[in-house]
Structure 1
Amino acid sequence: MSNPDKVLRNAIECANLPTLLAVMSHLSGDEKWLAAPYLPNPVPPELLADDSGGFNDEIASEIRISAFDVIKPYVDKTKALPPVPNLEKMNKIMSVSVGEPLPLEQTPMFLEEMGITNRDAVWRDKPPTSTLDAFLVTIIGAGMSGLCAAIKLEEAGIPYRIIEKNSEVGGTWHENTYPACGVDTPNYFYAYSFDKNPEWSGYFSKQPELFEYFDKCTDKYALRKNIKFNTEVTSAIYDEKNHHWQISTVDADGNENVFYSNALISAVGQLNRPKRPEIPGLENFKGPMFHSSNWQYEHDLKGKRVAVIGTGCSAVQFLPDTAEKAEQVFVFQRTPNWLLPNPDYYREVAEGHKWLLQHVPYYEAWNRFRAVRLFGDVTWPAVVLDPEWDDKGRSMNEASDAMREALTDHIKEGLGHRQDLLEKVVPTFPVWGKRLIIDNNWFSTITRSNVELVSDTIASLTDSGITMADGKHYEVDVVILATGFESNRFLWPMDIRGKSGVSLEQVWGDDPRAYLGITVPDYPNMFCLYGPNTNIVHGGSIIYQVECQVRYVMSCIMELAQTDIKSLECKEDVNVDYNNEVQRLSENLAWGHPDVDSWYKNSKGRVVNNSPFCFQEYWERTHDPKFENFIIER
């Protein structure tokens, strides 16, 4: 039998010291741990969290020895947990932990993210079960956002049904299985705030473990019984007379079904329908061709000549593995991207750290807080245009320009002897014009002798390869499309019709607009998760955005279920004013920069995917619905 004291001491050796200090102050109430010489260094400018906190060996040892004495009674359960410190004290701990003063008004948001205070919408007057049994919410999609909504409906006792086109849950993490597929957000932020998962094997996990997390959540919260797999929604038509949605579905065998629902939640995401590039002759190629989101492992790449079209996140992840196997790889690049080095990308989580997360009170909460702050709004000041900044063509402000210089130095180092590639791979747009991609040895890979980076324009595909605009032809055996998704066609190909009977696709086209990214005029009792202008670029986790949205949606659905209100419909003027504000703000953010050509924008250059708000601002706007912004029918 292991010695409990030894186990605790060994685990403390694996601790992140700023997190450990926060736990010690939280549990003991002693402000000694919030003053010199126990002040961790500020966050490094390259956005890398340092477990050491910058302490020398002597101070680090003193912290660990003291931590044992502070923590042990709570691990042994010989001492009751103290009350949660007041807002001011929690704010002070937060500020010290990340080495910068944080506004007091941000503290409630962080406390929700940490799971210390409740984020959930609550019943004002919960209806009896008999009333709720007659109420139904339909969720389209069993990915991350659909499961989140289902969990909260399940906990609230509100009947729901999930329609899922795939055979499994997980959405993105079920569909995408290409080599090295993984998340670009630290795991401790890429998990539900109410189910933090102390068992992650790495700091940036790969697809199998991410799918496993959402699959386990499905069973943990008893959702599977309400999911209809291998089934697609073909249409959803609002019945104004009866205040419900008529939903039509078809399963994999062609069986059609029609049912009615009081509310409809779209949880289909923005990145769920692969986009084929508009290149002439795609159908002419005789060899294997597949999209990265539908990787075809039956085609062995060993010894093959492989064309990779696209250089976004997916390509950055799978290229090293592809280059190891193939005889020759031609990488066709339209525009280069900014890549961020991170030494934690393949770092495994020490067993001792996992133990702390599971057994030490509040360690998991403070560990998440640091992840939220260090990979969230800490970067926001660098994405906002300084109107006095002289060089607006290359950067947004001084901080943005400093990051550009740092990342350019990283590129130069990665290219080594191939500095001739520098002009091809340094982006012309500001950093954060597109989401930073975690570097998966991209630059060293494109310098391999069997890899050629091609930045000229593709003219067409032939039966045996790719022809460029200048006439040069590349003979290849396999073509891999890393060309993204139909991100601007949010609910396509479903036919969604509101009160007026007009299809939402016709209303939106490639210019989708929704209030808070959630509700749409003329479509009562319909709510979007990860809808228009809710994507995040400056950092962080889309799960954060979705949890904010789910709280908002749950508040609306509870209002429908607990009152005589039959429909909630966003007012047209509210939607117009909000979206005008979104565009006005977006013009002065990095991703709205005129030199940024990305899937974030529609054909007219309007930003339709990204949120113009920092995390704190979006949390404030979505925390509690303003029902005066809705047309209400009783």
Structure 2
Amino acid sequence: MDRDSLTTHLRQADPGVLVAVLAQLTGDSSVVDRFGPRITHVPDPPERAGVADAATMEELVTGVVEALDAPRSETALAADDVRLFTRLLPVALGSEVDDEFVPLLLEQGGFQLSQPTLPRTVPIPETTNVAIIGAGIAGIITALAAADAGVSYQIFDRNDEVGGTWLTTRYPGIGVDTPSAYYSLSREVNPEWTSYYPQGAEYQSYLVALADKYELRERTRFGTEVEALWWDDERKQWQIHAVDRDGNRDISYATAVVTAAGYLNRPRWPDLVGRQSFEGVSIHSAQWDPSLDLAGKRVAIIGAGCTAVQIVDACVNEVEHLTVFQRQPHWVAPRKRLTDDVPEHRRYLGRHVPFYANWHRLKSYWATADNNYPVILRDPEWARDHLSISQANDVLLQMCMTYITETFGEGSELAKKVTPDFAPYGKRIIRDPGGYYAALTRDHVDVEASEPAGVNAKGIVTQDGRQIDLDVIIYATGYHLDFLSTVDIRGRDGATLREEWGDSPRSYRGGTVPGFPNLFINSAPNYSPGHGAGANFSMEVMAHYIIECLQLMALREATSMEVTREAYDQYVAEIDDAMSRTVWCHTPNAHTYYRSGSGRVVVATPYRLVDIWHQHRAPIEEHFALS
């Protein structure tokens, strides 16, 4: 490693992170006392950036360079020294950290793997095998957890490669609002992200690299659709009914099944009169054709959610004319950086300096996780007189309102069109990728604050009867909320999961349901983080819990475990009670996929992420029937 390059890049680093790195490299806790009081933090910009004077930075840079040059013992490199780690957290993250978060943060920073909870005095039997449905990020996480525990597994996926959504969805500008530094596996921190927010092709490459590294394809049946899962009570196993793309069907067996296919898989087309009659190109964002050229075209996009925002941002400079049909406005937060490009110093230091990328991953998590929890909780007194539901929620509302005013002008027609009439987080908050709001002000862009009245051969008819001639109609209209409704799942005595759930999917911890032994639903009802962090958090927590369940069966010499009806009902009741105090139950006018047809909120969790983490450390034995 070139010393001059290292020094140059270190001088641009976050000093709070450098304090943590130096302490871990040297194993010297006095580093915290020496430098901690000299570090301040900017509260608003992303990740609470650390600030230090020039002299302090030079001391830190020199210390890190010398530590990297010096021989290092195993003790000095102990990443899971809990006492030292706890002292480093406030300096690196920029805020005090309660003890309840420390073990979670050790894990989420990638400093240690998820730690076993139940005794390992009895091994999980070699005959145990797990069927994992889906080879996206959830399936990969589950497979690696099984491999760590020495459990045999097989992945089923209808596609020809790993990646799931990231493989199949390729619309222009595709990305995620979760920071790229965090949106990854905690065991596989990636220092090479080129954008602060993960873009589709780059994220797919990350998942492909994981499949390569861990040889996941050898245990994956690609091109295979799982049509049915039937519990065989005689064998105490699940039957997996699968069909390949040639129509060949077969049945295999597994001790346990983990569904890792998510709940947003089938594109939802709107029920518009004449939709099939359009003579131009009709395309859904979930089924994008990469060969589609929008240059010089008259384009309409139906939708104003995250997908539509990204497509508009990506294609506005190509099209001749763009009409945005905004069925309901979303709250849009401004980009807080001038650019989403990750600076070279951060990538360089992530590659060459131990722990640097880990701390940035942890800062990304901390900045977007439970610190954000108050924004979804309703304060009845506040909500009585405000559109927002609490003072914390109002801070976000005012930020978004300021962004609207600065972009469109206070009281302008466009400002009125894009301003929602519900509290922030009633629908998923959208982060402007950088040019969405600006695009709406362009001369060749029109915003229709309604759904189309209908479609005809030439284009779209508006609600007030105007004809808009088009070359391309893009449907950014989301997905059906499936929750396994496309798979024939039958538990004990032939009972179906569809009948158990009706129009309101629900589950106990681990995505378990009474009557369905050894079935774990990874993207479980009321399990998705709604206020912060990312789905990768809940996936890792779930994978840990599943292995603990298999371990409990081993300890009790059981072949099946099934949540009791009493525990299930009680847990769901507790969720509904907690949910009643959140924004999603107090913004009924916000159209959101978080609710099922029954109106019950079935996607988001009402709990803090740290609560979810602690709830899933190990199964509560008395809540299960083991046999």
TM-score by length of 2: 0.94
3-state SS of 1:289 partner: strand
Q: Aligned to 1:139, what secondary structure does the other structure show?
A: strand
Contact 2:153 2:219 in 1 (8 A): yes
Counterpart residue identity of residue 103, structure 1 = D
Distance 2:407 2:510 in 1: 39
Over aligned residue pairs, what C-alpha RMSD do you find?
Answer: 2.2
Does residue 447 (structure 1) correspond to residue 441 (structure 2)? The answer is yes
Distance 1:223 1:35 in 2: 43
Distance in 1 (alpha carbons) for counterparts of 2:451 and 2:348 = 53
Q: Which residue of 2 aligns with 1:41?
A: 41
Distance 1:513-1:417 versus aligned 2 partners, 3 A rule:
closer
Pair 1:456-2:450 in alignment? yes
Of 343-352 and 458-467, more deviation after overlay is shown by 343-352
Aligned to 1:572: 565
Question: Is the alpha carbon distance of 1:392 and 1:533 closer, same or farther for their aligned partners in structure 2, counting shifts above 3 Å?
Answer: farther
Q: Over residues 564-622 of structure 1, what are the superposed CA-to-partner deviations in whole Å (9 max), with x where a residue is unaligned?
A: 21111111111111111112211211223233321101223210000111111110111
SS at match of 1:616: helix
Q: Deviations over 1:53-80 (max 9, x none)?
A: 244xxx1x22322123322344225132
SS in 1 for 2:296: coil
Equivalence for 2:8: 10
Matched, 1:216 2:215: no
Residue 422 of structure 1: how far off its partner (Å): 0.8
2:137–2:536 contact (8 Å) kept in structure 1: yes
Residue pairs, 1:303-314, within 5 angstroms: 303-314=296-307
**2:135/2:164 contact within 8 Å kept:** yes
Further displaced range: 556-565 or 400-409: 556-565
| Within-5 A mapping of 1:302-341 | 302-341=295-334
- Does structure 2 retain, via aligned residues, the 8 Å contact 1:244–1:260? yes
**What SS class does the counterpart of residue 399 from structure 1 fall into?**
helix
Q: Distance in 2 between matches of 1:266 and 1:253?
A: 23
Aligned equivalents of 2:463 and 2:494: distance in 1? Answer: 46
Q: Aligned partner of 1:16: which letter?
A: D
Asked if 2 retains the 8 angstrom alpha-carbon contact of 1:338 and 1:437, the reply is: yes
- Counterpart contact for 1:567–1:632, Cα < 8 Å: yes
Distance 1:478 1:275 in 2: 18
Aligned to 1:551: 544
Instruction: Please say if residues 204 and 344 of structure 1, whose CA atoms lie closer than 8 Å, have aligned partners that are also in contact.
Output: no
- Residue from 427, 434, 447 that aligns with 2:427: 434
What CA distance in whole angstroms lies between the structure 2 residues aligned with 1:503 and 1:169? 29
How far 1:517 moved relative to its partner? 5.7
Shift of 1:126: 5.1
Looking at structure 1, the residues matched to 580 and 389 of structure 2 have their Cα atoms a distance apart, in angstroms, of 11
How far has the Cα of 1:432 moved from its partner?
1.9
The alpha-carbon distance between structure 1 residues 401 and 560, as it changes in their structure 2 partners (threshold 3 A), is: same
| TM-aligned CA distance change 1:258 to 1:179, over 3 Å | same
Are residue 125 (structure 1) and residue 118 (structure 2) matched? no
The alpha carbon displacement at 1:14 in A equals: 2.9
Secondary structure of the residue that 2:509 maps to in structure 1? coil
Return the alpha-carbon distance in structure 1 between the equivalents of residues 198 and 367 of structure 2: 18
Query: 1:31-180 to 2 correspondence within 5 Å?
Result: 31-33=32-34, 35-36=36-37, 38-41=38-41, 43-44=43-44, 48-49=46-47, 51=49, 53-55=50-52, 59=53, 61-80=54-73, 81-82=75-76, 83=78, 87=82, 89-121=84-116, 124-125=120-121, 127=123, 131-132=125-126, 134-180=127-173
8 A contact 2:379–2:389 mirrored in 1: yes
Task: Map 1:278-427; keep pairs closer than 5 Å.
Answer: 278-344=271-337, 346-391=339-384, 394-415=387-408, 419-427=412-420
**What is the distance in 1 between the residues matched to 2:352 and 2:406?**
42
Code of the aligned partner of 1:611 = T
Residues 1:624 and 2:618 are matched in the alignment: yes
> 1: distance between equivalents of 2:285 and 2:510?
28
> What are the Cα deviations for residues 267-286 of structure 1, in whole angstroms up to 9, with x where unaligned?
01122221112323322223
- The separation in 2 between residues aligned to 1:348 and 1:5, in whole angstroms, is 25
How far is the alpha carbon of 1:392 from its aligned partner? Answer: 5.8
Residue pair 1:395, 1:431 contacting (<8 A) in 2 also: yes
**Which residue, 177, 181, 187 being the options, matches 2:180?**
187
* Structure 1 contact 415–421 (Cα < 8 Å) conserved: yes
Amino acid at match of 2:315: T
Q: Does 1:482 align with 2:476?
A: yes
Equivalent residues of 1:25, 1:34 under 8 A apart? no
1:242 to 228, 235, 248: 235
Would you say 1:607 and 2:601 are equivalent positions?
yes
Equivalent residue letter for 2:465: G
Work out the CA distance in 2 between the residues paired with 1:517 and 1:608: 15
For the residues of structure 1 that align with 2:80 and 2:190, how far apart are their CA atoms? 25
1: CA distance between counterparts of 2:456 and 2:167?
A: 32
Q: Which moved more, 1:295-304 or 1:158-167?
A: 295-304
Contact kept? 1:517, 1:530, Cα under 8 Å: no
List runs of 5+ in structure 1 lacking aligned partners: none
Cα 1:537–1:34 shift into 2, 3 Å = farther
- Among residues 582, 587, 605, which one is paired with 2:575 in the alignment? 582
Q: Is the 8 A contact 1:42 1:98 kept in 2?
A: no
Give a deviation string over 1:229-282, Cα, whole Å, max 9, x none. Answer: 111001110011221111111111111111111110000112222111232332
Deviations 1:76-119 (A, max 9, x none): 25132435686455334212333322212211111111233331
Residue 276 of structure 1: which of 269, 272, 286 is its match? 269
Q: Quick one: distance in 2 between partners of 1:358 and 1:298?
A: 35
Mapped partners of 1:305, 1:364: distance in 2: 44
Closer, same or farther in 2 for the Cα pair 1:203/1:588, shift >3 Å? same
Partner of 1:508: 501
2:297–2:320 contact (8 Å) kept in structure 1: yes
1:141 partner letter:
G
* Matched letter for residue 33 of structure 2: K
The AA in structure 2 aligned to 1:458 is P
Secondary structure, aligned partner of 1:458: coil
Larger mean Cα displacement after TM superposition, 218-227 or 98-107: 98-107
Q: What is the Cα deviation at residue 186 of structure 1?
A: 0.9
**Higher mean C-alpha deviation, range 287-296 or range 72-81:** 72-81
